[in-house]
Structure 1
Amino acid sequence: MVDNHNGVDFILLEFPSPIQLTSITNTWQWYNTNLSVAAFKNTFSTSNLNTLTLKELAESAIFKASYLNTGAHYSFASNNSLTPSDITQVSSQYWLIGAYNAVFNSANCSKNCPTTVNGLKFGSITTTKTTTTPTPTPVPTPGTLSLFAVVLLGLSLHKRRKAK
């Protein structure tokens, strides 16, 4: 369970390879189901987490957004975000998810900014593994032809030697 009552609660998710967040299922809520999400570089270090403020942590994110009324099951593609953001294009190994916090809303909301207490229990988080197409390695044509010619020469010499 995470909430924003008398402090901040976030869950840091680490995956073996970059993924995209697809949806979240909340199994319990306390007041509202507003949440904040941030993605970090794949070289993210947890060693300095105790020295960073939440604002500094949010500023170091490669993506951050706050989502309103996520309800029981929420698809991030619906983009009910306080900021114009497209989470569906973001891949990361490190995702921070928690109850709503204004520092993750880069639009600096005023009227639309939720001020009520939020508490959530995440039942599941659906992800999509991002597949990266391997970069083809170019084969140098002259080198390949030279190697082929050397092999043919070697075979012909071997055949001549055997015939003698």
Structure 2
Amino acid sequence: MKNILKGLAAAALVFAVATPVSAASFDLSFNTQNTGARNSLTYNYNDGLDSLTVYGLSGRNNQTISGNTVQTWAGYGMGTPTQNGSHRVSNDSVRGQRVYQMVLFDFGREVSLDSFTVGDSAWGNNNWASVLAYTDTAPLTTLSGLTWSSLLQNGFSHAGDANTYTGVAEGTPKLVEGGLTSQYWLVGVYNAVFSDNPLGTYNEGFKLTGISFSTMDVSEVPLPAAAWLFLTGLAGMSWMKKRKQKRDQLQAA
């Protein structure tokens, strides 16, 4: 009986403060509408409780990153306008200087980006991509004044190594590696400034047709149940203490 009460007391203390974590997975398609060029796009998820905001970014590898418009084309996906007007998330060659195009996802909360899918690609089933996550504890306020090469020194981390996103097939989800969670994710064509992979010598280009991601939801134990278990445990421990004191007094007598 004594051991049972101890077990109940311990369980009460545990369950009274437990906060189980459960994952919720979501899929978003960028393939169903024509939005026209905008400064940003917004998508609601989690029954409308949360929203994703998407921004377009571009810039040569040794110059500062600048904002770009972003839009979707029905049947083709999401992209940012490029220097040559192909409207793909792309890497243009302009007078020998690479112009990299990427999109910045702001999920409004920490998420795990699970996969992304490309379409309307320049290289069919042999595309290359870069994926980064913002992992610093400081709030991300702006990318103004930064270059692509400085991102890794300003809070961003690789999601997978340099060879992870080579051979990305059009229309097939590409899994995101690295085990990172972040509110902010950068997805775009392969950018040679993040590594020395020689595949960066090619001109890549594609639209994003969709992403999959997961959130971590914390659900608290209902207070009445937790409080009842907690009080039961305390009562049991108090009863055991009084019983021990009485037994000790009888032995002393």
TM-score range, shorter chain: 0.5 to 0.7
2:115 aligns with one of 15, 18, 23: 23
Name the aligned partner's letter for residue 13 of structure 1: F
Matched, 1:123 2:209: yes
| Percent identity between the two aligned chains | 26
Change (3 A) 1:22 1:52: same
TM-aligned CA deviation for residue 91 of structure 1:
0.5
**Can you give the 5+ residue segments of structure 1 that lack an aligned partner in the other structure?**
78-85, 146-164
Query: Counterparts of 2:207 and 2:152 in 1: how far apart (Å)?
Result: 22
How much has 1:17 moved relative to structure 2? 1.3
Distance in 1 between the 2:158 and 2:147 partners? Answer: 17
> TM-score, length-normalised on structure 2?
0.44
Give the AA of the match of 1:30: A
Query: Larger RCO: Structure 1 or Structure 2 (Cα < 8 Å, ≥ 6 residues apart)?
Result: 1
- Structure 2 residue 148 is the aligned partner of structure 1 residue 75: no
Q: CA deviation at 1:132?
A: 5.1
Partner in structure 2 of residue 101 of structure 1: 191
> 2 CA distance for matches of 1:56 and 1:44?
17
Unaligned runs of 5+ in 2: 1-78, 80-88, 221-226, 236-253
Structure 1 segments of 4+ aligned residues over 2 angstroms from their partners: 41-47, 62-66, 130-134
Q: Structure 1 or 2: larger strand share?
A: 2
Corresponding letter in the other structure for 1:129: T
Deviations 1:103-151 (A, max 9, x none): 233xx335xx3421100100101111134577xxxx999xx88xxxxxx
The correspondence of residues 4-153 of structure 1 with structure 2, limited to 5 A, is: 4-5=91-92, 6=94, 7-31=99-123, 32-41=126-135, 43-47=138-142, 49-59=143-153, 60-65=155-160, 66=162, 67-72=165-170, 73-76=172-175, 86-87=177-178, 89-105=179-195, 108-110=196-198, 113-131=199-217
Aligned length: 130
